Structure 1
Amino acid sequence: MPPKIQQKSKEQKMAAAMAGGKGKKKKWSKGKSRDKVDNKVLFSKEQWERFESEVPKMKLITVSTVVEKLKINAGLARRALNEMADEGTIRAVCVTRAQRIYTRNVGEDEEEE
C-alpha cells in the first residue's frame, strides 16, 4: 500500500502545479551568442606575402572569402583588393557598394602574347 500513497502525493503535486499554484518561474534564454572573431587590421610581412601568392590563384575572389582565408579585417581586404585590381593581377567582375566580385586574370595574359 505505501507505493499508492506516494503515487497519490505525486498526482496531488501535479494537480496543484496544473491548477496554477506557485510553480517555477520561466527562465528566459539569452539567445545564441556568436564568438567574436579577432581579425587583424594591418598586414604582417608573412600575411602580405600569403595574400599576394594565394589571392591571384583563386577563381572567385570576394571580400568575405579573403577575410575568412587570411583572418584580416574587411576594410583591409577591400583596400588590398582595390590595389591588386589597379595593378592588374586580378580583374573586377562586378563592383557595387554592397558586393565586390573579382576573378583571376587569365584571359588578358593570353591576348597580350
Structure 2
Amino acid sequence: MGWFKLNADGASKGNLGVAGAGGIITNHLSQTVLAFQEHLGLTSNTTTELKAIYEGVKLCIDNNIRKIWVEIDAKVALKLIPSPSQGPWHLQNLLQQIRNLLSQTQFKISHIFR
C-alpha cells in the first residue's frame, strides 16, 4: 500500500541513433496512474535509459508520489545510479539529477527482464 511502480525504458536505433524514452506508473493494484513518452533525438542507449528514469521519477514527484519502485531492463543504468562514482563524463549531469530526485523519495530500484 502506498507504493507506486515506475517501469521505464529507453531505446535508440543504433548507438548513437534516433531515440525515445517512456514509462508507466502503476499503483499497488497494478492500475495505471500516469504514463509518459518523449522523443530524444540522436543519443546513446544508456542516455535513453537514464532519461526514461529521470522523466519518470520527476513525473512521480510532480504528482506527489514519493514511494517509488523503479523497474528497468538496463543493467548498466541499475549499476550507475547507486554508484558512488560520478559515471562517464557525458552522463554525470543526468546521473546527478536522477540522484537528486531520488533523494526526495523513498525508492527501490531493480532489474526486470525485457
Using structure 1 for the length normalisation, give the TM-score.
Answer: 0.25
Which structure is higher in strand share?
2
Which structure is higher in helix share?
1
Using structure 2 for the length normalisation, give the TM-score.
Answer: 0.25
Which structure is larger by alpha-carbon Rg, 1 or 2? 1
